[in-house]
């Protein structure tokens, strides 16, 4: 038998294959994620098997008729915004996220909405019993929606069941890690099984025209096969995120063959399930600490939508040899860069201080435009100088210490004006594109201007005025 030869060692986090066991995966750097698996059985390995001869097929020119992908809107506006207008028929979507974030809740709501619109919607749960899913649906007030339900994990059975009768418009498979196929010998949850089961479900989607949604858990320790290996196989990957303690949930497209990848959908987890948040800026700013030093408001853009969020910084003298730099919701490298620019070009000495930076509300910002807001919050905290509470900040900081222009100035200012802000600290070039938002603009050329503006307003930690000795060295 050639069984032994087919054994391989597969990283359960990223799917890299090795010839022998090792403690650390060279491909993704994770520890203890490599497990022994029998490889996917080769189709024609035995001496008696014959390789099929290739069949010629027709090739097409680039020009010719095209059709827009036929979509089924879910009826949940924030979800449709992220998918690009609804579920595309015959496509496969992977929804990833930490356990307990609300994936099952979101998808039972979507399935119910589609079923209520008169389409066939099937929800297959590999994790919960039918009674549990019913209980949740009952709590969400969806019990009357004609969703078809099953608790199943064998993909061959699932495909056979779904192929009988009218093709469902939507099939939710919750989760891909619990699915298994007869064709592969590894145990459920391993990379081979997850990949094999996903392949069968993808083939079903393409053949039947049903939109299939796969749920995938992402575990930080990489013990369970992450959906990483599935990401390459599906048409779109959505990631459902949120900080545990916050009730906001953010749905973000990581990959999308049929729509944009920069839109986000914002939801709030309530007693009655996930509610759409139509005006996220108001929500993210609702618990603002007005007048406290170390907070600034960033006027950002997520996809096509402007989004205002609070940036909080805390700069305190360090007790350690190597000061701490901790970031939540922003890029660690960008923080390091902003700190270096403040140190090198603005005379702000931070090497003796721990620095903490947090984006309020559990949002994760990816735009470089947040540099200026982060710098303002950092200087404000160090100098103990509160920033004006009616001001927003945006602009990218270059390594030379100047503030560079960013896109969509008018949209950012309009959103800020709508929420009652009166001033904006912006890159020099933004003045020309401000539109008629009615905001007082303060152009910041070199970053030093901003530092020199904030630092002298610093107060003594106990309340009174203080000389800004340690911040601006002049
Ligand atoms: P769930 O959808 O089961 O998460 P996942 O499928 O991603 O693991 O949601 C789990 C959490 O959501 C759970 O902690 C309870 C909370 N929740 C609410 O707050 N309100 C609700 O109406 C529902 C159904 C769940
Ligand atoms: Mg679940």
Using one digit for the tens of pLDDT, what is the confidence trace for 113-126? Answer: 999 999 999 999 99
For the Cβ of 247 lying below 6 angstroms from any atom of ligand 1, the answer is no
Q: Quick one: tokens of 19?
A: 């010839």
Q: pLDDT per residue over 298-338, tens digit each?
A: 999 988 788 899 999 999 999 888 999 999 999 999 999 99
Whether pLDDT at 57 is above 60: yes
* pLDDT at 158 (0 to 100): 96
Q: Quick one: tokens of 2?
A: 């050639």
Report residue 2's pLDDT band, with 50, 70 and 90 as the boundaries: very low
* Number of other CB atoms surrounding residue 288 within 10 Å: 14
Mean pLDDT of the 382-398 span:
94
381 to each of 294, 339, 354, 358, 359, how far by Cα in Å? 4, 13, 11, 13, 15
Q: Do 443 and 426 form a contact (C-beta atoms < 8 A)?
A: yes
* pLDDT at 473 (0 to 100): 41
Cα angle: 52, vertex 57, 63; to 5 degrees: 155
Atom of ligand 1 nearest to the CA of 240: 7
Higher pLDDT, 318 or 282: 318
* pLDDT at 50 (0 to 100): 64
| Pairing verdict, β 7-11 and 17-18 | antiparallel
Question: Distance (Å, rounded) from C-alpha 173 to C-alpha 133?
Answer: 13
Question: Distance (Å, rounded) from C-alpha 167 to C-alpha 170?
Answer: 9
* Number of other CB atoms surrounding residue 45 within 10 Å: 10
Pocket test for ligand 1, best of 218, 269, 274 (most atoms within 8 A of CB): 269
Is the full-model pTM beyond 0.95?
A: no
Provide the sign of the torsion angle of the four alpha carbons 394, 328, 177, 3, taken in this order. Answer: positive
Higher pLDDT, 8 or 462: 8
Q: Quick one: tokens of 92?
A: 């496969």
| Pairing verdict, β 248-256 and 264-270 | antiparallel
Ligand closest in space to the Cα of 141: 1
Q: How many residues does the chain have?
A: 474
97 CA distance to ligand 1 middle (Å): 12
Mean pLDDT of the 212-240 span:
77
Q: pLDDT per residue over 184-202, tens digit each?
A: 888 887 888 888 999 999 9
SS3 24: strand
Atom of ligand 1 nearest to the CA of 105: 2
Question: Distance (Å, rounded) from C-alpha 391 to C-alpha 425?
Answer: 7
């Amino acid at each position: 038998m050639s069984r032994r030869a087919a054994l391989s060692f597969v990283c359960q986090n990223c799917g890299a294959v090795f010839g022998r066991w090792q403690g650390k995966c060279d491909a993704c750097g994770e520890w203890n994620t490599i497990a022994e698996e029998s490889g996917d059985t080769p189709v024609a390995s035995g001496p008696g098997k014959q390789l099929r001869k290739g069949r010629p097929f027709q090739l097409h020119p680039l020009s010719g008729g095209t059709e827009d992908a036929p979509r089924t809107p879910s009826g949940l506006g924030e979800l449709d915004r992220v998918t690009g207008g609804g579920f595309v028929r015959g496509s496969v979507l992977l929804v990833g996220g930490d356990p307990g974030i609300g994936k099952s809740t979101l998808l039972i709501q979507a399935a119910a909405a589609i079923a209520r619109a008169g389409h066939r919607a099937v929800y297959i749960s590999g994790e919960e019993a039918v009674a549990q899913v019913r209980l949740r649906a009952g709590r969400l007030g969806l019990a009357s929606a004609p969703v078809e339900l099953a608790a199943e994990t064998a993909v061959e059975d699932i495909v056979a069941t779904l192929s009988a009768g009218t093709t469902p418009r939507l099939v939710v498979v919750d989760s891909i890690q619990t699915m298994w196929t007869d064709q592969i010998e590894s145990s459920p949850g391993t990379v081979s099984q997850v990949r094999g089961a996903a392949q069968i479900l993808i083939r079903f989607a393409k053949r039947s025209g049903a939109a299939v949604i796969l749920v995938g858990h992402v575990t930080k320790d990489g013990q369970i096969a992450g959906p990483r290996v599935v990401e390459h196989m599906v048409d779109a990957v959505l990631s459902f995120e949120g900080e545990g303690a916050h009730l906001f949930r953010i749905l973000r497209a990581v990959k999308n063959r049929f729509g944009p990848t920069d839109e986000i959908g914002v939801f709030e987890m309530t007693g009655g399930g996930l509610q759409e948040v139509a005006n996220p800026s108001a929500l993210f700013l609702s618990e603002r600490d007005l007048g406290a030093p170390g907070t600034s408001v960033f006027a950002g853009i997520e996809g096509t939508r402007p989004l205002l969020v609070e940036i909080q910084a805390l700069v305190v003298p360090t007790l350690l040899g190597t000061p701490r730099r901790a970031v939540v919701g922003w890029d660690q490298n960008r923080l390091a860069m902003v700190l270096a620019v403040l140190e090198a070009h603005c005379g702000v000495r931070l090497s003796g201080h721990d620095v903490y930076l947090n984006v309020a509300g559990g949002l994760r910002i990816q735009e470089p435009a947040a540099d200026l807001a982060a710098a303002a919050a950092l200087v404000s905290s160090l100098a103990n100088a509160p920033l004006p509470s009616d001001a927003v900040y945006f602009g990218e900081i270059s390594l030379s210490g100047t503030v560079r222009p960013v896109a969509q100035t008018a949209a950012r200012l309009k959103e800020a004006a709508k929420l009652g802000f009166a001033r904006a600290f912006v890159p020099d070039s933004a003045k020309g594109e401000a539109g008629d938002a009615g905001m007082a603009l303060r152009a910041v050329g070199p970053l030093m201007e901003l530092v020199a503006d904030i630092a002298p307003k610093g107060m003594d930690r106990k309340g009174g005025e203080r000389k800004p000795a340690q911040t601006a060295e002049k």
